[in-house]
Amino acid sequence: HWISCEKADSEFCGCASARQADYRGGISVTVNGEECARWDDERSPYRGLYGVDENFCRNPKVGEYERAWCLVDRGDHHMTEEDCDVPSCEEEAEERM
């Protein structure tokens, strides 16, 4: 059954129903265990974008991504966008029930 996210703590989880665009926690590692690059890196196309800070997982492209993600430095002026392992608030709520 569906669990509401209205009381979820965006510091610890992201709502799947919002494609984790609400997530504001400090996870900065991809699902593959790679460290995220800083959003304000000179090579980042998202430098200066509101709501992305440090190297924390976020979802500034809600229309394209299902979950929070980040940039990974691949060297030689190349960065890729990779999914993060941010917990789903809906799953967290179900586990507490």
Instruction: Please give the residue that has the higher pLDDT: either 90 or 79.
Output: 79
What confidence tens digit (pLDDT) does each residue in 11-57 have?
999 999 899 999 999 999 999 999 999 999 989 999 888 888 899 99
For 89, the enclosing helix (H) or strand (E) is helix 89-96
Please answer whether residues 77 and 26 qualify as being in contact, where contact means their C-beta atoms are separated by less than 8 angstroms.
Answer: no
Backbone dihedral angles phi then psi of residue 35, each to the nearest 5 degrees: -75, 140
- Does 7 have pLDDT greater than 80? no
Q: Look-up: residue for tokens 């996210």?
A: 5
Rounded Cα distance between 24 and 45, Å, is: 20
Neighbouring C-beta atoms of residue 96, cutoff 10 Å: 6
